Amino acid sequence: MDVMRVAVIGVGYLGRFHAQKYARMEGVELAGVVDADLERARRVAEEVGCPAYAHWREIPGRLDAVSVVVPTVHHHAVASEVLGAGIHCLLEKPMTTTVEEADDLIRIAADKGLVLQVGHLERFNPAVRVLEEQVSHPLFIEAHRLSGFKARSTDVDVVLDLMIHDLDIVLSLVRAPLEEIRAVGVPVLTPLVDIANVRLVFASGCTANLTASRISLQDMRRIRVFQPGTYLSADCMERKSLVVHREVTGGETPSIQPRLTSHEGGDILYDELAHFVETVRTGGTPKVSGRDGRAALELATRINALIAEGLKKAKDFGSPVNMPGGTS
């Protein structure tokens, strides 16, 4: 295809950014922006220079690909429609609300021969790419993803909102069966869990400890990986990488050789969308496929089940906690 016609479905906070990136992408025509709130769609459309619609089926002519950036509860309904119509789809994370819904989207995309990419944006962060290049046998991983409270992100809990990024990264690095999960979470400002900690033990001998909070007084997005002879740190917020290698010369005591790299500039959302466009053009496999999105969602779902079990025990014991989706 000479010019790829794309649309963005859902132009709230994040969808607006999708529209901005597509609008300046070479070889791409932003055929329209879509939102149930037509006035919001019109504001974004005026900003990026394209038509606005209340439904994607109103867009005239063919559509080659879309970004689906609606609330998570609507992911399956919207994505199944566009895939069923033969349109390639980039679906924001978390992929769906249930694993069964994710399986259905994967099936439709496979039957139609379509690209289904899931928006785990951090995989395109240059600091994370260093981990992908350097990590070969991880034995301990520690991740902290902390942010201040933002009311716009409270349609899902902190595991599906924030931690799922690190779950996806850990699964991409370890690639071994999971043997044990320990999880704890607490609803603090919302009825859903706002802070969580998870310990994962893999068959390869790797242990991962992950903390996510959306009620922190400081922002942090950092992953540290330890493997024989190497320590790596990826600061996803500052886009900096630290790689420390052990070096032994002759019979001397091992020395530490650190290498700090700052990945300045760049636009990881643009890179993610450009990768999606290129994958559609070439018929390749996306960096974050539907199966990758499903794996992260399945693990997040298991973690949330354990957290809910722990909160129920606390409530039965008499602790004044708010249960997810309810009150004490």
* pLDDT band per the 50, 70, 90 thresholds, residue 117: very high
3-class SS of residue 188: coil
Measuring CA to CA, how many Å separate 279 from each of 65, 88, 294? 11, 10, 19
Q: Summarize pLDDT for 63-113 with one digit per residue, the tens.
A: 999 999 999 999 999 999 999 999 999 999 999 999 999 999 999 999 999
Percent of the chain exceeding pLDDT 70 equals 94
DSSP secondary-structure letter at 6?
Answer: E
DSSP secondary-structure letter at 26?
Answer: T
Q: Summarize pLDDT for 150-204 with one digit per residue, the tens.
A: 876 677 899 999 999 999 999 999 999 999 999 999 999 989 999 999 999 999 9
Strand-pair category, 240-247 with 255-262: antiparallel
Token code pair at residue 204: 């390869």
State residue 250's pLDDT score.
62
* Euclidean distance between CA atoms 224 and 216, whole angstroms: 20
* Euclidean distance between CA atoms 82 and 89, whole angstroms: 7
Provide the phi-psi class of 217: left if phi over 0, else alpha when psi is between -120 and 50, else beta: alpha
* pLDDT band per the 50, 70, 90 thresholds, residue 315: confident
Compute the 3-state secondary structure of the chain and give helix, strand, coil in percent, each to the nearest 5.
40, 25, 35
Letter for the amino acid at 17? F
CATH class of the region 123-265+299-315: alpha beta
* Euclidean distance between CA atoms 215 and 275, whole angstroms: 33
* pLDDT band per the 50, 70, 90 thresholds, residue 320: low
Length of the chain: 328
Q: Summarize pLDDT for 7-43 with one digit per residue, the tens.
A: 999 999 999 999 999 999 999 999 999 999 999 999 9
- Please say if the pLDDT value at position 1 is more than 70: no
**Domain topology for 4-121+269-289:** Rossmann fold (3.40.50)
* Euclidean distance between CA atoms 33 and 51, whole angstroms: 7
This prediction's pTM? 0.91
* Euclidean distance between CA atoms 104 and 281, whole angstroms: 24
What's the average model confidence in pLDDT over 32-59?
Answer: 97
State residue 249's pLDDT score.
65
* Euclidean distance between CA atoms 305 and 3, whole angstroms: 45
If one compares 276 and 319, the residue with the highest pLDDT of the two is 276
Residue ranges, CATH 3.40.50.720, the chain: 4-121+269-289
State residue 325's pLDDT score.
43
State residue 314's pLDDT score.
84
Token code pair at residue 116: 């289904």
Strand-pair category, 52-53 with 207-213: unpaired
Instruction: Name the strand (E) or helix (H) holding 10.
Output: none
Q: Summarize pLDDT for 270-302 with one digit per residue, the tens.
A: 999 999 999 999 999 999 999 999 999 999 999
- Please say if the pLDDT value at position 322 is more than 70: no
